[in-house]
Structure 1
């Protein structure tokens, strides 16, 4: 394979150079050799690249059309700063950055092996997951977001394309390109009235461009929208046109989960429906609260599937949480019920073994 060494960007003023087309064999920044293109999105193209010391990475380059957009450049570079400041094992590490000769910035991230949640769904029947499996994924995502929010960062773009499932079973959160840092030292430029996000995964405050209202509950809505899509097979406010979908996101409450998917357990549906409330104060107050509620809904569903059919009053005993104060209390009740249920099942099994039934 021929190698083309790309020079560093010139420091002399003048007309901007023509965009560089990267090809296999090109050497970027005198250290990264391009192997192949592995992905692309609206703002960047991604290549597999090998460092001169043998390390493999994913080299992400801003698209030429955005190279003169100061805000786009700043968001692109902020992705590296925010991801590394959060420093969580489920967030993709960024270990190099520089500028091409044509002035476009690039990042080098850890190269992942596996598939995005989008690709996983594409392989499944009806492109949706079992409700329990989806909620277990939601619990892991809420745990991750709790760490992200703890560093003052709001992701704002939770969708199947931005969740990656590695071959080792680890969940990775991708693309902090439109993330918002709450602390002044890490804020990068945004403008009130500008819509940032992805249709079907934007909370009302995002769709309206009300950036001053965005906080961690915006990501809670994003988790709800993600689970809604994964469980029902449809996006929130899915419409035939982008304009209709955007208007619905601004003005119309989402259809309840069980309207689209009646087979979803009621308690799981209610956790997701609460996350998708249009009014921010009516949602789960944090990713941690939503995680607790999801865990309880999962435990309830498993208990219902394993408890004896004639267990008296089980449905009434395990009421779904209705406010932020209930999840932790309900967790204790569920543990007690699970313990008692386990004893009962053990007694039934023992009685059957000894011929007493």
Structure 2
């Protein structure tokens, strides 16, 4: 089967053990390992934080000042590997010599309850989903009142980075989508809706696994704070949103919201552009809320009919017309492949509760 990478070559992952789940093919997917841009914070269409920043020092001026800092007398921050509007990710060295990623909330957001809650949602999601395709949160703590997460350090590239080299072939796009759907199915079993699935939040590791990143705006069960959800709050990325999410109807968001986003990601992977043509995020948001998506066959005429039908169904404007769950969509995708390709991909587990797919380091709370 075509692997989501450049060419087969020896490769490895720092700080993680390969698991059978979420693996694309049977060998390495990416030749040149890259670390960075893998922990970007999810897009927020409208940020309520602008007034809070007036007269405050910007986050970027303090990032480099942390280099060399030792957290909890254990992890030394060595380099910045990614940063966004909410957090910075550092490569850090454990006192035992191991290398990890440490994600630190920007100082000026540490006192904002909604920002802190969203930041810590990643730890909750990792604990609840317990799947090798979710980035492992190994520990958490605080440094001078600012929360941080210790995470496995990934090597490889995001799907967004992979797509800069060009569109995917159908078998490669299917392999990635099935890997994502397996992870999403486990999250849905736990009552978690990701709400921001997109190429930038899908990671292809150097040994051929698929990882889903950034559960920072996930809809979690029993969210007592109310900070992670909210009627009228447009959280996510408009280019990959279904209409109910673009319209801010939180009560309508469920597993089919993520299924639409997987369909939009498949569309982008095969067509090379988003589901709606828009000149800005606001225009994309309006399009997502009001316009049906054109059939994949109109933009990729040579796409197999069976694949077109699967993608078109996932992108139905009416959520009732979409795939009922992630496993049903994954089974349909696998069924489009020849038997030899199915064997290469591996069987998709259809059980309601999937077994643990690889050993996970025990989590602990620090401080």
Aligned partners of 2:219 and 2:228 also within 8 Å: no
Pairwise CA RMSD of aligned residues? 2.2
Q: Which whole-Å CA distance do the structure 2 matches of 1:245 and 1:141 have between them?
A: 24
The more displaced of 182-191 and 90-99 is 182-191
* Runs of at least 5 residues in structure 2 that lack an aligned partner in the other structure: 1-55, 343-367
Does residue 40 (structure 1) correspond to residue 83 (structure 2)? The answer is: yes
Aligned partners of 1:116 and 1:162 also within 8 Å: yes
Q: Which whole-Å CA distance do the structure 2 matches of 1:189 and 1:168 have between them?
A: 33
Q: Which whole-Å CA distance do the structure 2 matches of 1:182 and 1:213 have between them?
A: 14
Does residue 100 (structure 1) correspond to residue 143 (structure 2)? The answer is: yes
Aligned partners of 2:239 and 2:276 also within 8 Å: yes
| 1:208 to partner: Cα distance | 0.6
Does residue 57 (structure 1) correspond to residue 100 (structure 2)? The answer is: yes
Aligned partners of 1:152 and 1:181 also within 8 Å: yes
Aligned partners of 1:97 and 1:106 also within 8 Å: yes
The more displaced of 149-158 and 51-60 is 51-60
Residue in structure 2 matched with residue 179 of structure 1 by the alignment: 218
Residue by residue over 1:169-214, the C-alpha shift from the partner in whole angstroms, topping out at 9 and shown as x without a partner, is: 1111111101111345797542210001012111111111111111
| 1:108 to partner: Cα distance | 1.0
* Greater relative contact order structure (CA < 8 Å, 6+ sep): 2
Residue in structure 1 matched with residue 31 of structure 2 by the alignment: none
Q: Which whole-Å CA distance do the structure 2 matches of 1:85 and 1:161 have between them?
A: 22
Residue in structure 1 matched with residue 299 of structure 2 by the alignment: 260
TM-score for both structures, normalised by structure 2: 0.73
Query: Cα gap change, 1:128/1:105 in structure 2, threshold over 3 Å: closer, same or farther?
Result: same
Residue by residue over 1:189-246, the C-alpha shift from the partner in whole angstroms, topping out at 9 and shown as x without a partner, is: 4221000101211111111111111100101001101101100001111311222111
Does residue 278 (structure 1) correspond to residue 278 (structure 2)? The answer is: no
Aligned partners of 1:23 and 1:36 also within 8 Å: no
Does residue 160 (structure 1) correspond to residue 199 (structure 2)? The answer is: yes
Residue by residue over 1:300-345, the C-alpha shift from the partner in whole angstroms, topping out at 9 and shown as x without a partner, is: 9979xxxxxxxxxxxxxxxxxxxxxxxxxxxxxxxxxxxxxxxxxx
**Count of matched residue pairs:** 283
| 1:158 to partner: Cα distance | 0.7
- Secondary structure of the residue aligned to 1:119 is helix
Q: Which whole-Å CA distance do the structure 1 matches of 2:315 and 2:85 have between them?
A: 27
Aligned partners of 1:78 and 1:188 also within 8 Å: no
Q: Which whole-Å CA distance do the structure 2 matches of 1:206 and 1:79 have between them?
A: 20
- Secondary structure of the residue aligned to 2:239 is coil
Select 2:277's aligned residue among 232, 238, 253: 238
Select 1:117's aligned residue among 159, 171, 179: 159
Residue in structure 2 matched with residue 321 of structure 1 by the alignment: none
The structure with more helix, counted as a fraction of residues: 1
TM-score for both structures, normalised by structure 1: 0.75
Select 1:294's aligned residue among 333, 345, 351: 333
Aligned partners of 2:217 and 2:228 also within 8 Å: no
* Runs of at least 5 residues in structure 1 that lack an aligned partner in the other structure: 1-16, 304-357
Query: Cα gap change, 1:170/1:300 in structure 2, threshold over 3 Å: closer, same or farther?
Result: closer
- Secondary structure of the residue aligned to 1:35 is strand
Query: Cα gap change, 1:301/1:206 in structure 2, threshold over 3 Å: closer, same or farther?
Result: farther
Q: Which whole-Å CA distance do the structure 2 matches of 1:187 and 1:267 have between them?
A: 41
Aligned partners of 1:265 and 1:301 also within 8 Å: no
Aligned partners of 2:218 and 2:228 also within 8 Å: no
Q: Which whole-Å CA distance do the structure 1 matches of 2:95 and 2:140 have between them?
A: 15
Q: Which whole-Å CA distance do the structure 2 matches of 1:132 and 1:187 have between them?
A: 41
Residue in structure 2 matched with residue 169 of structure 1 by the alignment: 208
Residue in structure 2 matched with residue 225 of structure 1 by the alignment: 264
Query: Cα gap change, 1:207/1:290 in structure 2, threshold over 3 Å: closer, same or farther?
Result: same
